[in-house]
């Protein structure tokens, strides 16, 4: 599975958009990009995933660059409850495991 690189921490003001970057320069054509988050003392929560195209759901948007070597998770209007560790994961098609790194600790400030 391709390795991902994320900044260890980020801050965001409440109500503003949070843009979390992820580098996955060794991604191959059959690998998906996933985002999960983990709020303190809880299990990880699925946010969104994509292969090539940008994706949007009720929680967030996923922007994948054309060369697929990086992506950005966008939380359009961050709230205090979005404070969590955000994990960017690359999963090979056909694999059932998610390989988590250390993620980005996002702190949303009032």
**Contact positions with another protein (CB under 8 A) in 76-105:** 87, 91, 93-103
30/65 with CB nearer another protein: 30
The interface with another protein within residues 17-76 (CB under 8 A) comprises 32, 34, 41-46, 49
Each residue of 42-57: b (16+ CB within 10 Å) or e? eebeebbebeeeebee
Residue number with CB closer to another protein (10 or 14): 10
**Which positions lie near another protein, rule CB under 8 A?**
32, 34, 41-46, 49, 87, 91, 93-103
């Amino acid at each position: 599975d391709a390795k991902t690189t994320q900044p260890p921490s980020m801050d965001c003001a409440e109500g503003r958009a949070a843009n979390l970057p992820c580098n996955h320069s060794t991604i191959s054509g059959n690998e998906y990009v996933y985002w999960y988050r983990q709020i303190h003392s809880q299990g990880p929560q699925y946010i969104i995933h994509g292969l090539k195209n940008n994706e949007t759901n009720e929680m967030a948007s996923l922007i994948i660059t054309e060369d697929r070597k990086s992506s950005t998770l966008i939380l359009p209007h961050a709230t205090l409850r979005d404070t969590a560790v955000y994990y960017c994961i690359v999963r090979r098609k056909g694999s059932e495991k998610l390989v988590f790194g250390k993620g980005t600790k996002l702190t949303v400030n009032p």
